[in-house]
Structure 1
Amino acid sequence: MILVTGGAGFIGSNFVLDWLEQSDELVLNLDKLTYAGNMDNLARLEGDRRHQFVRGDICDRDAVLALLQRHTPRAIVHFAAESHVDRSIHAPGDFITTNVNGTFALLEAARAYWGGLDAGQRGAFRFLHISTDEVYGSLGPGDPPFTEATPYAPNSPYSASKASSDHLVRAYHHTYGLPALTINCSNNYGPFQFPEKLIPLVIANALAGKPLPVYGDGGQVRDWLYVGDHCRAIRRVLEAGRPGEVYNAGGGNEMKNIDVVHALCAILDTLAPKAQGSYASQVSFVPDRPGHDRRYAVDAGKIGRELAWCPLETFASGIRKTVQWYLDNQQWVANVQTGAYMSWVEKNYVNRGNA
């Protein structure tokens, strides 16, 4: 058995579904079910005895330790996190609580559990921490991509909280010997992504005839990684990664935000055309967010050399799959667009006004 934290969220649920398509090894899924955790993501596992869901908080060290001792997993895959930069600007305390204090509590529970295992189990145990490229800060136009040796320089409350959790994971390996690993990924996209993030937000707003909000001049560059490729990378790091190491996983798809929006509009024009005109007519530039990093890019050479991983999806193939998934799952989108979500969109985008 493996324990997955945050397994009802975007990347976590994709990982759980992918894991159980590849293996019959049991998954114990621990999720607090905040706004971004959604049991609908896991609907196809209803009645599947290989998947056991527990609603709980990683900040509760004693409860997590009891769970570990009762189920004796061979690994922890730690996704649970607050993950949206815009929300971290409005409510940074939530990010410190979950990403820093929660990771600390989880590490403490894992250390106590691991310390009670026999020698063989201790040697086989792994703690895999899922992080982000945003901990490295922002790149200039001509800078080389981030590597595992790039100094940390987080620029938002979100990235600072993830950097803190990364440092805790590293410290628990070096101080206590906990066999921990970290994977820092670039921007993920794909099925089940909550529609506060750029790609699902644009798709949802386009179909609803609403403005497609683009920060500033839309020239921010991101490296896009299809979530299925990220899940493959996580499996490889869990299987063959060296404890104490960090692995960067990127898609090799650097694109400006405005180009991503126009690509989405072009696909929608083909797959779900409007009665008149293009979805691109709905693009609306809004004032930039504070401290907006200009460019991220990831060098995935280490994970390629050591673990023989590389992304299988191009941006063109992955984004078309993603758009088709959202078109085919409109009820899922409607279900997550609650009153609280709409209030958030109003606060973060509409009240900014037009640039």
Structure 2
Amino acid sequence: MDFNFEAHQQFSLPDRSFLNIFKRDITKIAEAAGFSATETGRVNLVVMEMATNLLKHAGTLGGELLVKPIFGENGTAAGLELLCLDNGPGMSDPQRMMQDGVSTYGSMGQGLGAIKRLSDFFDIYSQRGVGTVILSRIYQKKYIPKSAARSDKKFQVGAVLVPKAGEKVSGDAWGLRMSHEGAYLLTLDGLGHGEHAHEASLTALKAFHQQPKLTPSQMLRGIHAEIKKTRGAVGAIAHWNAEAGNLLFCGIGNISGRLIVPDRSKSLLSYNGTLGMSVPTTINDQHLSWERNNVMILHSDGLKTRWDLQKYPELTRHDPTLIAAVLYKDNTRTTDDTLVVVVRATE
């Protein structure tokens, strides 16, 4: 399974004069990831189509491109993930707009169709009054996975992680450890932002991967003990078991979470405190059911908490990274690092 914990680089395109800089900087990311000239050319075509869409449809309403390398199991850069987020009017029928020759703006209407054809994995979500989010993953030829959707027979996971504007690193982080019938997911927010927050989260991630696979509350206690020399972090661990149909959750601090089931949502509750500084004497795990098509969403306080999935009909059917990107687009505070992780049970 291919999981990518890297932060996204954020690119804004306020007007056409930034287009060459936009293209140049993303080309550098592709080249650094080991893309050949031909493969980089394919990335450039997708970037130009996305940029054209932003300029046409987002305009003064705003939009951005998020880009990050995709790494394989051996740590080698295997591809690029590109997310195009625009706050334009949106489309009532995005599938029709992907047909060549169809356009709401009287152009040739080849943009969305071209992006899909050039991508190894493609997904799109658009609604009138909501805007549009496009997800494209492009792999080097030798690394194209059998399933570019990065799915697993038991669950799918995706994330958007964006540092605060002006920062090179993020104080937010996340990690995943597989268990026999499921996985452990850790989400973190180092106090503040910048290098010291980043260091706190990295230290907590290292401790997470070294902990025995116990309950979330026990693992958080172990992490707490290991990061006392850092500035501290808030964090949460979720552990799901598809065979048993259960989900255990424990959080310390203001990591927010919800479990979405077909007819309702349930908040995932965290204790007051800070890992590495002070945690309650007694902490317990929240026990919930974990069934096919359940969706769990965890995020740092870089995302506003009052988001409502009812605003986005059928969004939960899409790739988890696309779900995270839609929530990020409409709810990021922009004043802090932002992390949104989405997990969907598929079995």
More helix by share: 1
Interval containing the TM-score (normalised by the shorter chain): under 0.3
More strand by share: 2
The two structures have a TM-score, normalised by structure 2, of 0.26
The two structures have a TM-score, normalised by structure 1, of 0.26
